[in-house]
Amino acid sequence: QVQLAESGGGLVQAGGSLRLSCAASGRIYRVNVMGWYRQAPGKQRELVASIINGGNTNYADSVKGRFTISRDNAKNTVYLQMNSLKPEDTAVYYCNAEIFPYSGSPNLYKYWGQGTRVTVSS
């Protein structure tokens, strides 16, 4: 089994910054894609940013230029640096990871963190 442990959420004023972290642990051979999603009240969960094992990144248009995703493969950890935060960034942020559990595994398994709340006040 695999666990994703998130940290770093909180309350911040508009224009401020937060850094989210998510560490994967358990039966892991290799972590493929890691990403951050968010869900605001009354809205669907949406992709914020993702990063593949080789380092290529993908961002939602709404966060480009403000958020930066990075990862430490040795620690199976992904980070989301959020700058110039806006009230519309308020949401629960979820970490996601696609994991091969053992060498030669034909299957990739997706896991979710429990979520960390980010609140941006105006």
CB 35 within 8 A of CB 50: yes
pLDDT, tens digit only, all 122 positions of the chain: 899 999 999 999 999 999 999 999 999 999 999 999 999 999 999 999 999 988 899 999 999 999 999 999 999 999 999 999 999 999 999 999 999 998 888 899 999 999 999 999 99
Q: Any idea what DSSP says for residue 88?
A: G
The residue to which tokens 């770093």 are assigned:
8
- Cα angle, residue 70 at apex, residues 43 and 72 outer, rounded to 5°: 125
The number of beta carbons lying within 10 Å of the beta carbon of residue 122 is 9
